[in-house]
Chain A
Amino acid sequence: MPRSGVALVLRPLFDRATEYGHYYMGKAAEYASRRMFVRNLGAGDATRDNFEASLVSDDPIFCYLLGHGNADTYSAQNQEIVMRTCNGNESLIGRIVLLLSCSCGIRLGPDTVNKGALTVFCWAVDFTWVATEDPPFDNYARGFFEAVNAISNALVEGRITGEAMSRSMSTWERWIDYWLASDDPYASMVVQHMIHDRDGQRLFGDETVSVVAPGAPPEIITPEGIPLPLPLLTGQTLLLFSLLL
């Protein structure tokens, strides 16, 4: 039976897209390590062999997985296939999974729950974001990954899966509000893709389970500060003008 208080974080790093997930999942892993044992497999360590070895030796209750994917496939470092709808996902029986990978919510996510995973968070669309700078300095990308990390952070704090989903949705809303109120020329583009990801986010399985021992007092964190919002209606007006002109 998977061990409560143990997490596996798999965060490949091999192209421009994975740079962002790798960076932000590093933050989530660091936060999780305050309350859980975390097997943090990054870059060249994010392989199928290491993933499977950790499932056996660490037996984590929580798996936070990044990688390229599609409706039936999840892959890790260098697009090495880790699991498919009909092969490999049985290893997630009894676990809570956050699968940050495109379109896995179409078939792989629900299939994984049908095979016995407790809960799977995933996306029924291609997960997309907008960026210009490198991950630590990019203001556009930040909100996308903070909304995803809101799930893992809430779980680490002892929240149940349904609450983690709600917190993530609230984080999406706050960031969408922020960008709607922004006079950044590309704000509408950020909002467009945030809405896309928010609406494509799915929770399959049990909404009442947690990754840390029952009764553990939740630790309150200060959310990563969303910059001070401009007046909402002003921003919305600007955005509409940018769409209509």
Chain B
Amino acid sequence: MPFGIVQGRAITPREALEKLRLGLSLEEVAMALKQAGLDPEPQDWVLIEAYYRKLLELPGPKPSIYVISEGAVVGKQITLENALMHVRRRDDTGRGLLKSYQGLLGEMGQRMNKYA
């Protein structure tokens, strides 16, 4: 059953998921899902938390994330432990990390589509 319009065409939930998987029309699909009460963001929060937990389990010296922002909520260096904490809190920094993680998922979808 179509639930929203993406690129001028009515799409079904299955087509929406396929577009998300392939990284196509991400913003439009997300908006359509949101308008239909099917906001995918809660799922992404779970994914990103699992992602940082996995990174924390990896061996070797752990990289930090650096930011050159003025007046940031956090300091200029975000450890993986801090990243996970911000994601769990879903605060401004956590939302920033979520956005970049969604960018990674979108890029991977596009590349998989390109090389498929």
| Contacts from A to B (Cβ < 8 Å) | 15-18, 20-21, 66-70, 73, 75, 79, 100-103, 126-132, 140-141, 176, 180, 185-186, 188-193, 195-196, 199, 232-233, 236, 239-240, 242-243, 245
Instruction: Supply 9 further A-B pairs (C-beta < 8 A) apart from A193-B65, A240-B112.
Output: A67-B68, A70-B70, A128-B65, A129-B66, A131-B66, A176-B107, A192-B103, A196-B99, A196-B100
B64–A127 contact, CB under 8 A?
A: no
- Give the residue name and chain of the B residue nearest to A141 (CB): B66
Q: How far is the CA of A170 from the CA of B96 in the complex (A)?
A: 25
Interfacial chain B residues near A20, Cβ < 8 Å:
66
Cα distance A127–B76 when bound, in Å?
A: 11
Size bracket, chain B contacts: 20 to 34
Residues of A within 8 A of B66 (CB): 16-17, 20, 128-131, 141
Chain A residue at minimum C-beta to C-beta distance from B55: A189
Q: In the complex the two chains form, what is the Cα distance from A242 to B108 in whole Å?
A: 12
Determine the chain A residues whose CB is within 8 A of the CB of B60 once the complex forms: 185
| A185 to B55 alpha-carbon distance, docked (Å) | 8
Indicate with 1 or 0, residue by residue over B100-116, a CB within 8 angstroms of chain A CB atoms.
Answer: 11011101100110010
- Chain B residues near A (Cβ < 8 Å): 51, 54-55, 58-72, 76-77, 96, 99-101, 103-105, 107-108, 111-112, 115
Cβ 8 A contact of A239, one of B55, B59, B108: B108
Say how far A197's CB is from chain B's closest CB, in angstroms. Answer: 9
- CB of B68 within 8 A of CB of A100, answer yes
A72 and chain B: residue at smallest CB distance:
B70
